[in-house]
């Protein structure tokens, strides 16, 4: 497998009464073969919209700038003729809501075999064998082939969606909350499957709210807030040395096994409405480290180590180091 997913300065804007509003702002992100990158952040941070841009599936009223490349092929501005052979084969996506992603008028088998035969010149028996293998990987039997979406539970639909996404063995897989509707035993199986696929060469962008899932399977983590990547680094660095106050808040908000009856930390406030973007740092009104400059100036990603970058005027890691010295 060559190349990967490379996003550079991606911005996604929508027109409204007050002008243009940026839902995603100058996003830089990369997913290489053999790795899982966890993309985390609260709802409304722009994670799913970024994922849709990677497949050329942004809404018609969305204005897009920047670059998204799959193995060197530019996605931004590409025609449907260019995108058709890429979707499903070079890059595939496990959508967050399988009930709306699957066609209710066709069986699971018909839809999956249609994907296989769209990208490969194989007969129906070979396609069925590939579909059976993908279903088995996601924990479903061939019984699912003859079922319509409404005849399956939410968890079964989620696994069928996963099977459809991996059936063509794409170079890049975007998994948007792939384990939300699954019980813990099936979730463990799916996470193990994602790890196996990455070890076999696939690059995976894992979008999730579950930091426990990220800690378990991700090689790198990107933290998104209000349309920006505010921190990125190796998983160990993020969990042991979080530098952005928002990242630290997310970690402190997660339940801890054996934590007893202690009061769980919560980040005050909500993600700001992207239609009313303020100057300076978007997290400032929720930040316990906020200073005057945070209200007026935005800072670019700065490197703490070669693998660890943060978008903050006063990174916690630097402040802690300065305090110790």
For residue 25, give the 3-state DSSP assignment.
strand
Specify the DSSP element, H or E, that contains 14.
strand 5-16
The C-alpha angle with vertex 216 and arms to 213 and 219, in degrees rounded to 5, equals 105
Max CA distance (Å), the chain: 68
As a whole number of angstroms, the distance between CA 208 and CA 189 comes to: 17
Residues 6+ away with beta carbon under 8 Å from 106: 114, 148
Q: Is 302 left (phi over 0), alpha (psi -120 to 50) or beta?
A: beta
Give CA separation, 140 vs 128, 148, 178, in Å. 14, 14, 15
For residue 253, give the 3-state DSSP assignment.
coil
Per-residue pLDDT of the chain (325 residues; tens, 9 = 90+): 457 999 999 999 998 777 788 899 999 999 999 999 999 999 889 999 999 999 999 988 899 999 999 988 999 999 999 999 999 999 999 998 888 889 999 999 999 999 998 899 899 999 999 999 999 999 899 999 999 999 998 889 999 999 999 999 999 999 999 887 678 888 888 899 999 999 999 999 999 988 889 999 999 999 999 999 999 999 999 999 999 999 999 998 876 666 666 667 778 888 887 777 667 888 988 888 888 898 888 888 888 999 999 999 889 865 443 333 3
């Amino acid at each position: 497998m060559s190349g990967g997913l490379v996003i550079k300065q991606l911005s996604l804007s929508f027109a409204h009464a007050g002008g243009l509003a940026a839902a995603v702002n100058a996003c830089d992100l990369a997913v290489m073969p053999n790795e899982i990158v966890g993309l985390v952040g609260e709802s409304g941070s722009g994670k799913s919209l970024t994922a849709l841009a990677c497949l050329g599936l942004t809404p018609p009223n969305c204005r897009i700038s920047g670059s998204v490349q799959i193995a060197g092929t530019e996605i931004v501005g590409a025609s449907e003729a260019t995108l058709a052979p890429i979707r499903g084969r070079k890059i595939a996506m496990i959508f967050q809501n399988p009930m709306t992603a699957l066609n209710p008028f066709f069986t699971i088998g018909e839809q999956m075999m249609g994907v296989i035969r769209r990208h490969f010149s194989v007969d129906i028996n070979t396609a069925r064998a590939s579909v059976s293998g993908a279903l088995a990987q996601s924990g479903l039997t061939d019984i699912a082939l003859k079922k319509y979406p409404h005849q399956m539970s939410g968890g079964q639909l989620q696994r069928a969606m996963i099977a459809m996404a991996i059936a063509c063995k794409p170079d890049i897989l975007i998994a948007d909350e792939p384990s939300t509707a699954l019980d813990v035993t099936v979730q463990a199986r799916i996470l193990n499957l994602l790890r196996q696929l990455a070890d076999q060469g696939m690059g995976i962008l894992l979008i999730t709210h579950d930091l426990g899932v990220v800690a378990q399977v991700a090689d790198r983590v990107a933290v998104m807030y209000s349309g920006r990547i505010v921190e990125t680094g190796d998983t160990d660095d993020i969990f042991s040395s979080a530098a952005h106050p928002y990242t630290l808040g997310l970690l402190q908000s997660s339940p801890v096994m054996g934590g007893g009856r202690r009061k769980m930390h919560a980040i005050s406030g909500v993600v700001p409405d992207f239609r009313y973007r303020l100057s300076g740092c978007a997290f400032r009104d929720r930040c316990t480290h906020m200073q005057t400059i945070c209200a007026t100036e935005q800072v670019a990603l700065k490197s703490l180590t070669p693998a660890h970058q943060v978008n903050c005027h006063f990174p916690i890691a630097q402040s802690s180091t300065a305090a110790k010295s």
